[in-house]
Structure 1
Amino acid sequence: MTLTTSISPCLWFDDQLEQAAEFYTKIFPRSSIGHLARYGDAGPGQPGTVMAGEFTIDGMTFRGINGGPMYAEFTEAISFSIACSDQTEVDYYWDSLVDGGEESMCGWLKDRFGLSWQIVPNRLYELLGDPDPARANAAQGAMLQMRKIVVADLEAAADAVD
């Protein structure tokens, strides 16, 4: 049996799908807005407004619907994690996504649409996996105090136990 299944996240918005797709596709490389289905005269929505659509963020396809306010509140139970190669990438994604949103702790933020993101430098995992438990614990302690993860501060905390 050959399966041709693909899995895509589907995000429920009140009425901001088009704005969200534009926001995300400007931030990430290899991104684009696909088909947006609009309400016609017969639909329950305002004719011409977006009902549902598809967009790609860094090569990953997302679907979205403007389903009204009943489920339009995102929670931290679902988040998207961005693995960053260095502090420059952390700063770029953090600053871009938190614009109009809010910071949280340990590399988490909510964007202007309320969607949660984790902006994580690869170096964090390296330090948390340090074979010296004292260094790993020091890096973890530093991370737990941060909003945006700062690699130099993690390294300084780990190096301070040597």
Structure 2
Amino acid sequence: MNKIYPCLWFDQQAEEAAEYYVSLFNDSAINNKAYYVDDVHREKGSLLTVDLTLAGQRFMTLNGGPEFSFTPAVSFFVDCETKEEVERLWDAFMDGGQALMPLQQYPFSDYFGWVQDRYGVSWQISLSNIPQRISTAVMFANEKLGRAKPAMEQWISLFENSQVLAEFPAGELLQQALFTLEDSLFRVMDSPEKHPFGFTMAISFCVACANQAEIDFLWEHLTKDGKEWPCGWAEDAYGLYWQIAPGDWGDLMDRSNPERAEAVAKEMYTMKKIDIAQLQAVYNQFK
């Protein structure tokens, strides 16, 4: 299961969207659901997150509230094996959605379209003649123009088993690059056009850390020239959002003891960088 994976922040459509996406992609499933253990942010017992797989790539959907909206600054690039597969996904996403780039031939693809679905999430769908796969695509524009390559290089330096797979420069800018972070595919691109949108917390990148040392390392480097946010959320120097948390998060938030789970959650709310030992100490009080 992917160590790094996108989290999509919805108001209250996390379950509906997860089931919808799973119905569209190959090699897809709902893996797990988590629920609010207190009533600080939402009604206790209501759905918090859905952990799912789409085309072999792990995702998470979150019911977080109406504060954030999706933008095309972060989209999902879908490589498809056949024209029929492209059209099936396109038609599904156009049901309640809108085209950002029409489905047609382009210099870079025999058949490609960019669509915003009914929830506002953006998808780039391309006939690539390979089995279906999804990569997270990050577009740098406006005041962030020219930062695609530095961002990619920093991220690759922070995560093991990461490398550039393809790179297409355009002068001093990066037309596009495909690379891996751990076992997840990413793309970056510079867009010289002016766009009325940027990055938001609606899409963040979860990192399942092995231990406190990894949390400390990533937190230090990702928040340098960035910003610390509560509950393990970090904003990096490029304006992208990350959730830096222990991989065994589910064990600490185990709902078999509701009082314990609520106490651990409330302790987490006091933190910015996650302190596993501090959370474990609260957990141990209820053993």
Q: Give the TM-score taking structure 1 as reference length.
A: 0.85
User: Equivalents in 2 of 1:112, 1:139: separation in Å?
Assistant: 30
Q: Which residue of 2 aligns with 1:27?
A: 158
- The percentage of counterpart residues that share the same residue type is 31
Cα distance, 1:123–1:61 mapped onto 2, change above 3 Å = closer
Amino acid of the structure 2 residue aligned with 1:31 = S
From 56, 76, 80, the equivalent of 2:180 is: 56
From 181, 189, 205, the equivalent of 1:80 is: 205
Gaps of 5+ in 2: 1-80, 82-130
Aligned residue-pair number: 154
Asked if residue 36 in structure 1 is aligned to residue 167 in structure 2, the reply is yes
Q: Is the 8 A contact 2:173 2:190 kept in 1?
A: no
Q: What SS does structure 2 have at the residue aligned with 1:20?
A: helix
- 1:130 is displaced (CA, Å) by 4.6
From 230, 239, 257, the equivalent of 1:114 is: 239
User: Equivalents in 1 of 2:240, 2:196: separation in Å?
Assistant: 13
Gaps of 5+ in 1: 40-46
Cα distance, 1:121–1:55 mapped onto 2, change above 3 Å = same
Which 4+ stretches in 1 moved above 6 angstroms?
Answer: none
Amino acid of the structure 2 residue aligned with 1:10 = A
After superposition, the C-alpha distances for 1:7-45 in whole angstroms (9 at most, x for unaligned) are 111100122111111111100001112322122xxxxxx
Q: Which has the higher strand share?
A: 2
User: Equivalents in 1 of 2:271, 2:234: separation in Å?
Assistant: 12
Q: Which moves more between the two structures, 122-131 or 88-97?
A: 122-131
Q: Give the TM-score taking structure 2 as reference length.
A: 0.50
Q: Which has the higher helix share?
A: 1
CA RMSD of aligned residues (A): 2.0
